[in-house]
Amino acid sequence: MARLGKSLLYISLALVAVFQIFPIIWLFLFSLKSNQEIFGGSPFALPAEFRWENYLKVWEGGIGLYFFNSIWITGVAIILTVLLASMATFAITRMQWKFSKLVLGLFMIGLMIPIHSALIPLFNMFLNVNLIDNPWSIVITYTAYNLPITMMILLGFYTTFPREIEEAAIIDGSSIHRMFFRIILPMSMPILSTAVIINMIYNWNEFVFVNTFISSDQYKTLTVGIQNFIGQYMTDWGAIGATLIISFLPLLLAFIFFSNKVIEGLSSSAVKG
């Protein structure tokens, strides 16, 4: 019975994996077709001719710039979010001060605010400080909106962090800043990896803020740049498929290589000690 149950489990997991992987394979084949093949044949048929030029077309059409913008905007926002969230969570959970719980509550209120409810106030604020059509408006917005969820991820780990390590560092003459950057932060890498992946998924896929705050092509990210391949009378669907493959490939690779870190980070924040 145990062997039968194990076999059924593996079969179920294999079916789930097939359903998960099939859309990716379908999109890849979609990206290698022409419009005639997409609309004239079966959606599940193999391409009559593998049109690798679709990838060259979108790269020459500006997707390289959008790709670079997505990378640096996402990367800078992640660094700022993780660093600020780590410092704030450390101060709230490991240091004794009067209004720590109140400050934590104020941060957690951010989880209850719909992300795009502040779109118009943010636009007016950035307009007043000349940050409209400036990529730093996107970086600031991503950092601010991701702080609450990142702090919530770090909260369990920092709360259960052994105080003996801090006491040993203080006895050795370490300052609070050196202790945080040389001891606490490196030991937080498993849970920080989880925070990085979650931040990357949101930042990389976000559309509304970039579409609202950015108008110049030189600052657009991949999610908004895809619109350039949608014409008024003609849409190159193969090129759009190639763009989508390129856009989600970094997320797929990141999750493949860091999935173990994500599981380890979630476990370390859930289990005391």
pLDDT tens digits for 67-96?
899 999 999 999 999 999 999 999 999 888
CB 158 within 8 A of CB 94: yes
Share of the chain above pLDDT 90, in %: 27
Q: Which two tokens stand for residue 206?
A: 């976000």
The confidence score (pLDDT) of residue 231 equals: 61
Task: Give a yes or no: residue 10 inside a domain.
Answer: no
If one counts the domains in the chain, the total is 1
Are the C-beta atoms of residues 156 and 190 closer than 8 Å to each other? no
In a domain, 17, yes or no: no
Q: Is residue 55 assigned to a domain?
A: no
pLDDT for the residue 96: 83
From first CA to last CA, the distance across the chain in angstroms is: 37
The answer as to whether 47 is a domain residue is no
Residue whose tokens read 């950092």: 143
Of residues 204 and 161, more confidence is placed in 204
Q: Model confidence at 20, in pLDDT bands (50, 70, 90)?
A: confident
pLDDT of 122: 92
Domain assignment present for 187: yes
Helix (H) or strand (E) holding 225: helix 222-225
Cα distance between residue 211 and residue 223, in whole Å:
9
pLDDT on residue 134: 94
User: Are residues 150 and 107 in contact, defined by beta-carbon separation less than 8 angstroms?
Assistant: no
Q: Is the pLDDT of residue 103 over 70?
A: yes
How far, in Å, CA of 76 to CA of 83, rounded? 11
3-state DSSP assignment of residue 230: strand
pLDDT bucket at 237, cuts 50 / 70 / 90: confident
* pLDDT for residue 183 is more than 60: yes
Residue 267 reports pLDDT greater than 70: no
Mean pLDDT value across residues 30-35: 87
Q: Is residue 29 part of a domain?
A: no
Measured CA to CA, the distance from residue 199 to residue 76 in angstroms comes to: 11
Q: Which domain holds residue 77?
A: 60-270
Q: Are 266 and 152 a contacting pair, CB within 8 Å?
A: no
CATH number (domain holding residue 182)? 1.10.3720.10
Looking at every residue in the chain, the average pLDDT score rounds to 85
In a domain? residue 24: no
Distances (CA, A) of 81 to 7, 91, 159, 226: 43, 15, 19, 27
The amino acid present at 122, given as its one-letter code, is L
How would residue 228 be classed by pLDDT, with cut points 50, 70 and 90?
low
Mean pLDDT value across residues 44-55: 85
| DSSP code, position 46 | P
Please indicate, yes or no, if residue 240 is contained in any of the structural domains: yes
